[in-house]
């Protein structure tokens, strides 16, 4: 009884390796996009904290924000 195989195109075929390569490339691309989004988010939080003159990170951790001065 034969189990599942990775290369369904037959012996000597590169079909399975090409699919693996394409999947690996897509995985790498999505990982790089995720890292870029995380960096952009951190940069945005830093800019917003500076512009609004409030500690957004502390507010996110504690759930409390200082009231604006009138």
> What pLDDT, in 10s, does the model give residues 52-62?
888 888 888 89
Instruction: List the domain range (segments joined by +) for residue 43.
Output: 26-70
Quote the tokens at residue 50: 């500076």
Q: Are 57 and 45 in contact (CB under 8 A)?
A: yes
For 21-46, the pLDDT digits (tens) are 999 999 999 999 999 999 999 999 99
Pick the more confident residue, 47 or 5: 47
Query: Could you tell me if residue 39 is inside a domain?
Result: yes
Query: Could you tell me if residue 17 is inside a domain?
Result: no
| Domain tally, the chain | 1
Whose structure tokens read 């999947």? Answer: 23
pTM score of the predicted model: 0.61
| CA angle 42–44–46, rounded 5-degree value | 70
Query: Could you tell me if residue 32 is inside a domain?
Result: yes
At 14, is the pLDDT very low, low, confident or very high (cuts 50, 70, 90)? Answer: low
Q: Are 16 and 9 in contact (CB under 8 A)?
A: yes
């Amino acid at each position: 009884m034969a189990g599942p195989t990775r290369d369904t195109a037959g012996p000597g075929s590169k079909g399975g390796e090409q699919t693996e390569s394409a999947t690996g490339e897509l995985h790498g691309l999505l990982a790089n996009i995720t890292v870029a989004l995380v960096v952009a988010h951190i940069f945005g939080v830093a800019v917003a904290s500076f512009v609004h003159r409030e500690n957004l990170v502390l507010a996110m951790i504690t759930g409390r924000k200082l009231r604006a001065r009138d």
